[in-house]
Amino acid sequence: MKASRPVAIGIALLGLILLIAGPLIPGGERLVRNAPVDSGHITDLARADDGSILAGTQDGELWRFANDQWTRVDVDLDGQPVTALSADLAGDASTGAIGTGGGLVNAPAGMPPLQVPVRDEILVNGRLLVGTGDGLYVQGDGQWQHRLAGTSIYRLETQRVGDRRWLHLGSVGAGVLSAQADDPLNWQPNRDGLPEESNVFGFVTTESGRLIAGTDRGLFWQPAPLAPWQRLKVGLENSRMLSLFLEPAAAGRTERLWIGSDDGLWRVELDDSGAAPEALASAEPIQTPPDHVRYGVSWIVPFGDGVMLSAGSIYQFGPMGLKGWYWISLGGLILLLLAGWLLPSRADDSRRTP
């Protein structure tokens, strides 16, 4: 039985509204998987200067996420696991220096191959610094300069303090060592206040310039380079801080520290305006990755209004559309089809006209 034209048009308009509104209805914050298809175990994650996301895998693959899709980067890594990616890999990532379990791929021009397992890398004043399980390799004039032999380096970081730039390295078992950026060959122990033989996995710098270190026994902060470290209490003092990302303060909100641990993803609001950075509350646990993921959160990078993280695979967390929104859109499509079936033909309209 046909309905009147106004009724059919009304049903069609309602269906169109539901069809369009489905993916636009906010559904709060959620954690969802966002990884290349069949990419395998993710070993490194970095945000490039151009805003794209780079991901390396255990099987020696390099992927880039841009324009809402993952694409494979054409570079031969000889099947070695990717262990170090840097922000300057924007543009043609296949030509930049990439750290692997077998050495450094695409060494800087004029430098010999570096065939030692790479842990981390950083570009400072035009010189590449490469952290390994046996010390630091600094790019020199046609040769690598080896420093801190025997030190197991895990992470490299820079810090701006006034008109000076500092370098810090987190180690396995030796805490933190630091150097001035214009003299990357001379390093000093910087572990006063840290637990003995501590493992340091990452750093962030607050907006006021204070350095925060993530260790195997919680968080510590330092008011100035080489000053004593102090504990930053966030309720995770016995946890391994595998990765850190500090989100800048926004309107009506303080700085937000994201923490990756063996137990998943956490976040805490930090007040950095006083004599010491202070957590406004205990760290808040975020929805953990699915049960089949057995790895800690090893990398966190900014992504949209939230973060992207690696925990075996790659996930993103932040504001999402309503879960199950497609049922709303499907209902809208059904209403459109129903309206088309109910809509009377012109012949029907003419027969109804007296």
For the segment 290-332, what is each residue's pLDDT rounded down to a tens digit? 554 567 899 999 998 899 999 999 999 987 665 665 667 777 7
- Considering the entire predicted model, what is its pTM? 0.83
Tokens 């070993």 belong to residue: 43
Q: Which of 283, 286, 192 is nearest to 232 (CA)?
A: 283
Kindly state the tokens that stand for 116: 């030692």
Give the total residue count for the chain.
Answer: 354
* Of residues 37 and 287, more confidently modeled: 37
Calculate the dihedral angle through the C-alpha atoms of 20, 21, 27, 33, rounding to the nearest 10 degrees.
Answer: 0
The pLDDT value given to residue 347? 47
Report yes or no: 119 and 86 within 8 Å, Cβ to Cβ. no
Q: For the segment 271-288, what is each residue's pLDDT rounded down to a tens digit?
A: 999 999 999 999 999 866
Q: State the chain's mean pLDDT as an integer.
A: 88
